[in-house]
Amino acid sequence: MRVVLYTGKGGVGKTTTAAATAACAGARGVRTLIVSADAAHSLGDVLERRLGPRPTPVAPGLDALEADSREEMTRHWGRVRDWLMELFCYQGIDAVVAEELALLPGAEEIATLLAVEEHGRSGGYDLVVVDCAPTDATLRLLTLPEMARGALRFVLRLQEAASAVMSPLARAIVSAPLPEAGVFRDLEKLLYVRLRRLRALVRSARTTVRLVVTPERMVIDEARRAFTDLSLFDVACDAVVMNRLLPDEARREAFFRDWARVEEERCKEVAEAFSPLPILAAPLRDDEVLGIEALRAHGEALFERAEPDSVLGCRARVRFASDANGWRVELPLPNATNGSLDVAKLDAELIVRAGARRRAIGLPRRIAALHLESARLDGDLLVVRFAGSAAERPPCG
């Protein structure tokens, strides 16, 4: 199954671009599902169809749905949520507030990925296009399986230990609701089965992000930061969509001359910043792109020389390598700067912080036994070197 996620700063046209991609793919014979992951769903408005949490046929070869985080988390988080609600209500918290507090942090993001993963495993679709929320929410969506897995494992161990000691005695004398065994089973299933699948989905070579930008300074800057953050978590981008470009007839008008000049400069900047990814150009339309026919035409223009479900481009991912001086980890971090980076080794993990984002990279046992010697940026590549005794040094490779 191929998964393509569209994101960008709010208002750049990512919903239209995602829907146009899906409409184009469906028309070319690719069994396609488009999923809205934005809490403020606008996919139905663009398709001019009423959508819900179940796939709705909107055109031959194309289904659509708007993910419902509450419904998904009721299915996957039900007993844990019920116990947390009991506990909060026991402490005097209003039932409505308790229900909100009992939702897993990042529930909306997890619900979307669970829906994508389940429909993908069903075998009913060749391509799933995800219309994501604005950039920061998308980064939470894509990094949550890795971040939540570590946090939930720690909480699960604490709760299991406390329950094993307290429950047999405490149930008879403590009125507060204590977790049943089913609560732990649900937590284990979410942690060891579902989150593992979600991590595999996000890291798969068949899953890529496409960044939608317009020729505006703030939009481009946000996309560049997102590109760095996605690279930090080893999430692949395969293209950038340059949206709402002036059509050729407008460029010939004197009124738009300066606008066209700035636009050309920004396009060159984007091409350099996101190299070697391809840049897909989408013109500014004279009206809103609404309805299947308009979306299909927009998609055909966007993918005139490519297939919408192809992996359009790629960059290197995290790599472990060796030479005569020891082992090294190479992590692509486009647009990063030395001042924004913090690198450390903690036990068997390499901790990399880039700006506000932090990732723990598990190290192979051979490297985990060594000490961190240096970390430096070589262009867009973070190179972290490890060394030990002479006997530990590998042969040149």
Please, what is the end-to-end C-alpha distance for the chain in angstroms? 35
Work out the average pLDDT over 274-295. Answer: 90
- Write down the pLDDT at residue 63: 95
Which residues is 283 bridged to in the sheet?
A: 245
pLDDT value of residue 85 = 72
Helix (H, G, I), strand (E, B) or coil at 157: helix
**How does pLDDT run across 106-142, given as a tens digit for each residue?**
566 677 777 888 887 778 899 999 998 776 666 666 6
pTM: 0.76
Tell which wins on pLDDT, 53 or 13. Answer: 13
Contact 359, 346 (CB under 8 A): no
Q: With H, G, I as helix, E, B as strand and everything else as coil, classify residue 237.
A: strand
Average pLDDT on 254-276 reads 89
Determine what percent of the chain is predicted with pLDDT higher than 70: 74
Q: How far is residue 98's CA from residue 103's CA, in Å, rounded to a whole number?
A: 9
Task: Tell which wins on pLDDT, 226 or 59.
Answer: 59
Residue 2 near residue 127 (C-beta atoms within 8 A)? yes
Out of 50-59, 150-159, 204-213, 322-331, which region has the weakest mean confidence (pLDDT)?
150-159
Query: What is the average pLDDT across 312-323?
Result: 84
Higher-confidence position of 65 and 168: 65
Among 84-88, 123-127, 141-145, 335-339, name the one with the lowest average pLDDT. Answer: 141-145
- In this prediction, residues 303-325 reach a mean pLDDT of 87
Look up tokens 């929320």; give the residue.
133
Binned at pLDDT 50, 70 and 90, residue 315 comes out as: confident
Mean pLDDT value across the chain: 80
Residue 224 has pLDDT above 70, yes or no: yes
- Decide if 58 contacts 22 (C-beta within 8 A): no
The predicted model gives 230-240 an average pLDDT of 86
**Which residues, at least 6 apart from 6, have a Cβ–Cβ distance to it below 8 Å?**
14, 15, 17, 18, 21, 129, 130, 131, 132, 209, 210, 212, 241
Confidence of residue 184 (pLDDT cuts 50, 70, 90): low
CA angle 42, 48, 52 (to 5 degrees): 60
Burial degree of 94 (CB within 10 A; 0-12, 13-18, 19+)? exposed
- Would you say residue 275 has pLDDT above 50? yes
Residue ranges and CATH numbers for the domains of the chain are 2-69+111-139+201-302 (3.40.50.300), 70-100+141-200 (no CATH), 319-392 (2.60.40.790)
Which residue in the block uniquely carries the two structure tokens 């590998």? Answer: 394
For the chain, percent helix, then strand, then coil, each to nearest 5? 45, 25, 30
pLDDT of residue 158 exceeding 70, the answer is no
- In this predicted structure, the answer to whether residue 62 has a pLDDT above a threshold of 80 is yes
